[in-house]
Each structure stands twice: as C-alpha cells, then as structure tokens.
C-alpha cells in the first residue's frame, strides 16, 4: 500500500496537454465517457467521464454512477472535465469487496489523489457528497498542494445522536424504499449489499454543539455557506439545476 504503484495495464485518457496542466474538478463518483480500470495501490479502480475544459472528480458512498446523473449530463463541459470515481469496493471497483478498517476514509483519499496523479492532473477541485464529502475534506487536508477548491454537501465532521439514529435505521436494507434499494441490488447483488450495510463498529464520539456546516465555513478562509431550505441529503438530485449553477460559479 506504500506509495503509488500501477500493477495493471491502463489506457491513458486522451486529454490535450493544455488540459492536463490546468485545474481539475475531482468529483468522488462519476462523469466522463472514457471507461477504464485503474491500478491504484494494487487495487482496481474504475473511472468514467466526459471531455471538458478544466478537470474534476465526484465522490460518494455505495451508489456509484446512480447518484450523479444530473451532474454527469449537465455540468458545463466547456468549463470542466468532470471525472467520477468509484472507490475500492464500490460500484465497478470490485473486487475487492468493501471493508472498513479504522483509516478507510484516509485510504480512500490517498487512492483518489494517486489516481489523479496517474491521470497526470496537476491540481483538482473536489465535489464530495456524504462519505465522499468526508473523504474530500481529508484529501484537501493531507494533500493541499493537489487541491484547488471543494464543494461539500451531505457530509459531517462528527456524529450527533440524531445521526446515530439514522444510521441504525438504515442498517436493514429490506426496510429501504424499493426505488432506493433496487438499483443498488442490481449493481451489487442482494447478499453483498445487505451484508455490507449490516457491518458495524462501536465508537465513542465527542463533539460540540455547533452545526457542522457552520463550523466548516467559520474556520475555512474563502469558504461559502449556501443554505437550501427544502434541501435534504440528496439536494444535488432534487435541485440539480440550482446545485450545478452553484458549483460552476464557485469553481470558476
């Protein structure tokens, strides 16, 4: 796992050299019509995307390409090259199956940056949703010279009592709505999907009273906080046009 090492045959993307040296948009889960397997840290990684100007990536948790349709299709291709990536154990980046060692967020962040380097991107911006937002925050903290800007939503810096109730409530995937469950079962198979969501690790969490989003913006220079009163966890899907416009304006 040490360093960056490609053990597999990789087809390089045909981006113009000028594009490769410009800022990139690294969204943690999917966007480009190049489909390829990447050997990062001896693990297979799958990336897709569509040719654009600047570069970018998208990151998420279990759902892979099912979660970023409006961004894949509608972000301005004249401004950005949006690259979406399935972390190890998610989407098409299997095998290996997903596991959860103590440092799994740090591992995902390193995998993402190593993949960025293999694709010859000098600097990227990050789009991170849910667990992908946590990974993006870690990547920006650990590899600041590689990161330009971030867009984070649906992520958390700590776990509240309400969060724990939600996590407990979604462990049994049979209780999920069919609309949410069926695409994931089709991608992963029922057994793998159910088994992965059942995994649990006891933890002691200590935190203060500040809302996470306000805490982030108060402690980060150049940060913005945009509140969407009707927005919930999947606000980038429910309010895709507003979200995409915010992303494009902020990252330019």
Radius of gyration of the chain, Cα coordinates, nearest whole angstrom = 17
Q: Is pLDDT above 60 for 2?
A: no
User: Where along the chain do its domains lie?
Assistant: 17-158+212-251, 159-206
Q: Would you say 80 and 7 are in contact if contact means Cβ atoms under 8 Å apart?
A: no
Q: Average per-residue pLDDT in the chain?
A: 67
Residue-level pLDDT at 214: 54
Nearest to 58 by CA among 214, 49, 96: 49
Neighbours of 167 (CB within 10 A): 12
pLDDT in tens, 115-142: 888 888 888 888 888 888 888 888 988 9
Least confident of 70-79, 109-118, 144-153, 205-214: 205-214
CATH number of 17-158+212-251: 3.40.50.1820
Residue-level pLDDT at 107: 92
């Amino acid at each position: 796992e040490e360093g960056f090492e490609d053990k597999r045959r990789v087809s390089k993307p045909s981006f113009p050299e000028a594009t490769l040296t410009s800022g990139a948009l690294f969204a943690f889960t999917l966007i480009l019509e190049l489909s390829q397997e990447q050997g990062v840290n001896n693990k297979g990684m799958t990336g897709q995307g569509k040719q654009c100007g600047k570069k970018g990536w998208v990151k998420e948790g279990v759902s892979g390409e099912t979660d970023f349709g409006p961004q894949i299709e509608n972000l301005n291709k004249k401004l950005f090259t949006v690259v979406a990536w399935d972390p190890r154990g998610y989407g098409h980046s299997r095998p290996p199956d997903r596991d959860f060692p103590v440092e799994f967020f740090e591992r995902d962040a390193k995998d993402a940056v190593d993949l960025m380097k293999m694709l010859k991107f000098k600097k990227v911006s990050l789009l991170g949703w849910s667990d992908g937002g946590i990974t993006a925050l870690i990547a920006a903290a650990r590899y600041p010279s590689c990161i330009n800007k971030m867009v984070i939503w649906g992520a958390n810096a700590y776990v509240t009592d309400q969060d724990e109730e939600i996590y407990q409530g979604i462990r049994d995937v049979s209780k999920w709505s069919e609309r949410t469950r069926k695409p994931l079962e089709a991608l992963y198979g029922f057994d793998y999907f159910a088994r992965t969501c059942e995994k649990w690790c006891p933890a002691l969490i200590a935190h203060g009273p500040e809302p996470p989003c306000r805490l982030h913006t108060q402690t980060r220079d150049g940060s913005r906080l945009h509140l969407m009163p009707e927005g919930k966890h999947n606000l980038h899907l429910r309010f895709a046009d507003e979200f995409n416009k915010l992303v494009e304006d902020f990252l330019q």
